[in-house]
Amino acid sequence: MAYDIDPALLYSISIVESAVDDPTRSGYLKPSPWTLRTSTPFYAASRREAEVELLRLLRLGRSVDVGMMQVNTRWHGHRVKDPLDLLDPLVNVRVAAEILSEQMRRYPKDAALAVGHYHSADSKRARWYARHVMRIYTNIKTQE
């Protein structure tokens, strides 16, 4: 497993970051690969629509959270050659796993804080975020 991150944990983060209703299963959520967020979320219907909007937002100088893992262009755009690459779900998850792995190394004795710092450098916000992710993660793991 790349970066030694449990895929269920990455999936849990994707649900918190970009979940939309799953039209094929009533009452279920799924990550949305073409989600963009500045101050408000934008859920594109296609990758092409997401690309057009992402380019528009970047031209405006906006910091944008991109894809199912909501990788931020300002803080993590250097991890890809082109910000549009973050709309590829595999690239998006790989970059997220890299970020999370770095946080796990930074906080080896506090996994919740590491998960929280994936989202925010502010420890209070990080703890709040981690509670949401860990609730989903625990639910997934008990279903296995």
Q: What's the pLDDT tens digit per position in 23-59?
A: 888 888 899 999 999 989 999 999 999 999 999 999 9
Q: Indicate whether 139 belongs to any domain.
A: no
Q: Indicate whether 67 belongs to any domain.
A: yes
Check residue 1 and give its pLDDT: 47
Tokens coding 26:
């009533």
Q: Indicate whether 11 belongs to any domain.
A: yes
Check residue 22 and give its pLDDT: 78
> Can you give the pTM of this predicted structure?
0.93
The list of the chain residues with pLDDT below 70 reads 1-2
Q: Indicate whether 140 belongs to any domain.
A: no
Q: Indicate whether 60 belongs to any domain.
A: yes
Number of domains in the chain: 1
Enclosing domain of residue 114 = 2-132
Q: Is the dihedral of CA 32, 79, 91, 93 positive or negative?
A: negative
Q: Indicate whether 138 belongs to any domain.
A: no
Check residue 7 and give its pLDDT: 95
Tokens coding 57:
């937002």
Query: Whole-angstrom Cα distance, residue 118 to residue 96?
Result: 8
Q: Indicate whether 142 belongs to any domain.
A: no
Check residue 2 and give its pLDDT: 62
